[in-house]
Structure 1
Amino acid sequence: MAEGFTLPIQVIESDGISAWLTEDHSVPVVSLAWSWQGGAGLEKAGEEGTTALMASLLTEGAGDLRAREFADALRDDAISLSFDSQRDGFEGGFRALRDAVPAALRLARLAMTAPRFDADALQRVRARAVAGARQVMETPGGQARRAFWATAFPDHPAGRPTGGTAESLAAIPEAAIRAAHARQIRRDGLLVAVAGAINPAELRALLTTLFAALPPGAPEAPPALPPFIDFGSRVVPMPFPQSTILFGQPGLAVQDPDWEAAQVMLRVLGGGGFSSRLMQAVRVQRGLTYGISAGLDVLYGQALITGGLATQNAKVAEALTVTTAEWRRMAEDGPTEAERADAIAYLRGSLPLQFTDSRRIAGTLLSLRRNNRPLDWLAARPARLAAISRDRLAAVASRLLKPDGLSVAIAGQPAGL
């Protein structure tokens, strides 16, 4: 990390479960995050949103506590407990004051082992999810995202909405939700990360208390991500004065040795706010959009290079022409030495901001574990970044960026397209 900043990580094991721990007693708070593989990636076509509904219902009553009683128990001890279904995984986590950790453990264990799935709770959560899905699809952004992913991966769960559609959510039976719970919440395949005011002995006991009662076995692995389909452009007509544009192309594997070099290169191209080339060319110099960005989007152990912007319908063609030109310029020449230095200085200097509270620390540790990073990944990152030369960045840009292969989904009424 940045010079003078360290994040000591301990590996704690108990009953076959390992956790990464960053111990810090300066504030009496404990944050715990855990995950499994699976999530929406295990859903069948037509059952999109089943795992997301299940995740929402886990905190809507468990054991002998109905929804309101469960919520009251969380509130009384200021416990934050949540579950989330993702494209290729499923996460749980809580944050609590140190004195409230026993209560947090009891409620989290109940949620995972004895969810009620009461009919009234299901009706309420389903109605909220259906309304949200409909609202998303009423916007150009929602339509552009749906078109992009569905066209890039038409026969894979990655091409389907993680949270489901209004139609799929309305049709999901309770039995499917219970089946999703049974396949996802398991004793094995767990990745755990912890930060805050807890010592190793206490964490070992916590791991046993929280997870020992889960059924044995691990969730199935979701299907491997197939090759990205280069679909050119796809327009979803919508009567809006602006169009929303999502563009992308294949990227690289999370374990690729050029991963960090790609991060640096893409920060120069599209991830550096007003300093990025895309922002300068598309917004500052031509006023074609309020904002444009591009970066790595990780799913199923792979990363696509994706980006987006919104602009007036009459300016869509020009905005895409300028974007493609900057894509090509980076692919052909790479960044300048000054751009390389600025990007690396930012990435090194901003690292401590990711670790300002226990929840963010636990979340970052869990992401490292999901990406199969070694224990010293963070400690060695500044030296790895500093060693990336301009020539290497130019080679990575030439290898990855495909200006003639950008796939573009547009929702709106773009002129001339």
Structure 2
Amino acid sequence: MSGTGFSLPIQVVEGGGLTAWLAEDHSVPVVSITWSWPGGAALDPRGQEGAARLAANLMTEGAGELDATAFADALQDEAIGLDFSADRDSFQGGFRALVPALPQAVRLARLAMTAPRFEPDAVARERARALAMVRRSLEGPQGRGARAFWAAGFPDHPAGRPTGGTEESLAALTVEQLRAALARHLRRAPGLLISASGAITADELAALLPALFGALPEGKVEDPPPLPEFRHFGTQVVPVASPQSAILFGQPGIPVNDPAWETAQLVLRILAGGGFTARLTHSIREERGLTYGIGAGLEVIFGQSVLAGSCATANARVGETLTVLRAEWKRMAESGPTAAEIEEAVAFLTGNQPLQFTDSRRTAAILLAMRRNGRPLDWLARRPERLAAITREQAAKVAARLLAPAGLSVTVAGQPEGL
């Protein structure tokens, strides 16, 4: 990899009619495999919000001949990490295991996908946990603000609904509805994306794939409704009794396959990325002490993205914070980044890349994200040269296109002053 000395050879492995991407590495005797289906919470019927996530949580609460305790003991005895999850637009599974424990990891993952038990006590326990999480998220400004922000941005699309469900929907979900949520996803169909990393060869992975997924039914996963553009809604206030207000802001992003994707990431690194050199951090935190932290980035959903960010500040300083935020947003849109800022951001993004691959689980997750985003095999290898080729003129054009100050939508949850 140019300029970093880092490379990640990726192999395409086929077995049992399935395809996986593999980053083979035998330096540590650990294997991570992760997979996903499209859909996720977007396929939850109206009134059944949270079904996919609750069903995912129940998959490791007993399966086949193993009740919840026996299943947990089987995982613990072999130090296997197995989990399933659902987010806005996908349903995911994965495990991490030592090489000698791979057969057991495959057996338990297959059981979880093909024969989850949904025992009454496990359902009650996981339902109570989900309800507690929903209630806790709505106790403070951040959770209340986030729910209102996404609902306003996508009022007529599942992306605007709470992924984890509501108190009403979670309380009403039946076991039949939870099983149906799994049936909507767990298929051997096209759309099942698989990636692996660690101490496993291509031949070994090819043999493992049908053992892991071969018992799943055939059939295509239902397509979620197409994502509309994030709707501009101006500024909305969600009253919450709190000494601080949570501020969430955003506007439409760009598709993940847009040629300007990495230039947009570079611009946002300079404007709102991590570290104290970002313009928003410098102006809002360092110069004025208005917030402890602020950041924004492109949140990928349904192959598109939303440019979303957040911060928190004292109620009395909300108006000042938003004034500075909008001014910096406008300055970047009108003038773009400087050559020095671009050079520093390119150096950081290029030098930081190898640090994203410090363990097999993270590597497998990155490969899966590449597949979901339609990236080619050499995407990572060529990234440093693509970043180095970005000019100030290109960055300025993308900043002007991406950052429409008049199109910035803001949700403030708290008791704000100065609006």
TM-score, normalization: structure 2?
Answer: 0.99
In the alignment, which residue of structure 2 is the partner of 1:340?
342
Segments of structure 2 that go 5 or more residues without pairing to the other structure are none
Classify the secondary structure of the residue corresponding to 2:129: helix
Q: Give aligned-pair identity as a percent.
A: 62
- 1:18-97 matched pairs, under 5 angstroms: 18-97=19-98
Q: 2:241 aligns with which of 236, 239, 242?
A: 239
- 2:377 corresponds to: 375
In structure 2, C-alpha distance between the alignment counterparts of 1:148 and 1:273, rounded to whole Å: 25
* 1:266-300, Cα deviation, whole Å (9 max, x unpaired): 00000032110000000111111111111111111
Displacement of 1:416 after TM fit?
Answer: 3.5
Q: 1:354 aligns with which of 344, 353, 356?
A: 356
For residues 247 and 3 of structure 1, what CA distance do their matches in structure 2 show? 35
Q: Report whether the alignment pairs 1:169 with 2:136.
A: no
Distance 2:91 2:180 in 1: 15
Helix, strand or coil: the match of 1:252? coil
SS in 1 for 2:276: helix
Query: Of residues 261, 264, 289 in structure 2, which corresponds to 1:262?
Result: 264
Residue 262 of structure 1 aligns to which amino acid in structure 2? A
Query: 5 Å matches for 1:212-251?
Result: 212-251=214-253
2:320–2:418: 8 Å Cα contact kept in structure 1? no
> Are 1:47 and 1:169, in contact at CA under 8 Å, matched by a contact in 2?
yes
One-letter amino acid of the structure 2 residue matched with residue 378 of structure 1: L
Aligned to 2:129: 128
Aligned to 1:278: 280
**Mapped pair 1:178 → 2:179:** yes
Shift of 1:221: 1.4
Secondary structure in structure 2 of the residue aligned to 1:193: strand
Q: Offset at 1:218? A: 2.4
Number of equivalent positions: 417
Shift of 1:45: 1.7
Deviations 1:363-388 (A, max 9, x none): 00000000010011001101100000
Q: Counterpart in 1 of 2:120?
A: 119
The equivalent of 2:305 in structure 1 is 303
Which residue type is aligned with residue 325 of structure 2?
Answer: T
**Runs of 4 or more above 4 Å deviation:** none
Using the TM superposition, name which of 139-148 and 38-47 deviates more.
38-47
Match of 1:148 in 2: 149
Instruction: Tell whether the 8 Å contact from 1:84 to 1:92 is kept in structure 2 after alignment.
Output: yes
Cα distance in structure 1, aligned partners of 2:270 and 2:369:
24
SS in 2 for 1:154: coil
Matched, 1:411 2:413: yes
Q: Does 1:384 align with 2:374?
A: no
**Partner SS for 2:410:** strand
- Give the TM-score normalised by structure 1: 0.99
Q: How does 1:300-339 map to 2 (within 5 A)?
A: 300-339=302-341
Listed one character per residue, the Cα deviations across residues 313-341 of structure 1 (whole Å, up to 9, x for unaligned) are 01000000000000000000000000000
Shift of 1:404: 1.4
Amino acid at match of 2:416: P
Quote how far apart the aligned CAs of 1:3 are.
Answer: 2.1
Hey, what's the Cα distance between the residues in 1 that align with 2:28 and 2:294?
38
Alpha-carbon RMSD: 0.8
Cα distance in 1, alignment partners of residues 380 and 407 from structure 2? 34
CA deviation map 1:37-64 (0-9, x unaligned): 0100111221110000100000000001
- Per-residue deviation at 1:224? 0.9
Instruction: Give the letter aligned to residue 147 of structure 1.
Output: A
> Which amino acid is the alignment partner of residue 149 of structure 1?
W
Aligned partners of 2:283 and 2:324 also within 8 Å: yes
**Is the 2:10–2:22 contact (alpha carbons within 8 Å) kept by the matching residues of 1?**
yes
Separation in 1, partners of 2:188, 2:279? 47
Please show how residues 200-215 of structure 1 align to structure 2 within 5 Å. Answer: 200-215=202-217
Q: Quote the Cα distance in structure 2 between the aligned partners of 1:160 and 1:272.
A: 28
1-side partners of 2:187 and 2:334: how far apart?
48
Contact kept in structure 2, 1:273 and 1:293, CA below 8 Å = no
- Alpha-carbon deviation of 1:197? 0.6
